[in-house]
Amino acid sequence: MRTLSAPPSPTPHPNTPMSPIRLLEPSSAHSTPSKSRNLNGKHQMVPRDGPTDETPTGPATQCGQHLKNVRTALETWCVKLRNQRYASNPFTPATLLPNSTLTTLVLNAHIKTTNDMAVLLNPPWFLAARHRQEVIDLLAKLDVDHKENRDHEKLERREAKKQETARLREARQSQRTHEQSQASASTPVHALASSLTFNSAGELVCCKFCF
């Protein structure tokens, strides 16, 4: 039986720094430093006239629960890949998807296509030719699920706020009605006294509140 062995990882040039995330190659257009910093704490260069079709937009890195979901999904996929396709080979999941590759896929939100993967993975993934489309499809599904969950949470918060506003409005209206009812039910003493009419004998002859 023919077995598949992992080729040695390419040795980087001595002057080339190792980094899990590599920025896209700059275009020929004039560029200026952006206001945001990348993972290395440096300002990324962007075209002077703003983003172009080749310039990634949106957040540069995953964060929060979405980041955890992406990592868990990739690790689970890698275990299944090893068990289903490479069980006869002495590979571990960490061999099939090295930690540097996994970290870049998890953190870099700009990886949307196989071309992005080829440009941004450094060092290159040695199984990219076989499995890159599977990974891209998985990442795309996770992004869609994340967006749907986020939109659903926004809708729930908006509905809860609307219900709370209606409850407060109803409470204020009920309070005003109660105060008005109390005011109309109790006649002031001075108003009652001024409404009484007596005759010369001191007998009450008229009260305007009686009519």
Asked if the structure places residue 40 within a domain, the reply is no
Asked if the structure places residue 16 within a domain, the reply is no
Q: Mean pLDDT for the chain?
A: 74
- Give pLDDT tens digits for 169-186: 988 988 888 888 887 766
Asked if the structure places residue 22 within a domain, the reply is no
Domain that holds residue 112: 59-177
Give the pLDDT score at 65.
87
pTM for the full model? 0.53
- Give pLDDT tens digits for 35-73: 545 545 555 544 333 334 444 444 566 668 889 999 999
Give the pLDDT score at 184.
73
CA distance 71 to 142: 10
Asked if the structure places residue 88 within a domain, the reply is yes
Asked if the structure places residue 106 within a domain, the reply is yes
* Structural domain count of the chain: 1
Nearest to 55 by CA among 26, 28, 35: 26
C-beta of residue 33 within 8 angstroms of C-beta of residue 44:
yes
Torsion of CA 24, 26, 28, 34, to 10 degrees: 120
Give the pLDDT score at 181.
83
What is the SS3 assignment for 144? helix
Give the pLDDT score at 17.
43
Handedness of CA 42, 43, 46, 51 (dihedral sign): positive
Structure-token pair, residue 5 = 């062995």
C-beta of residue 62 within 8 angstroms of C-beta of residue 72:
no
The number of beta carbons lying within 10 Å of the beta carbon of residue 101 is 22
Q: How many CA atoms lie within 13 A of 210 on its CB side?
A: 8
Asked if the structure places residue 153 within a domain, the reply is yes
Q: Which residue stretches of the chain have pLDDT < 50?
A: 1-32, 36, 39, 45-58
CA distance 83 to 85: 6
Asked if the structure places residue 134 within a domain, the reply is yes
Tokens 């206001």, residue? 35
Give the pLDDT score at 187.
54
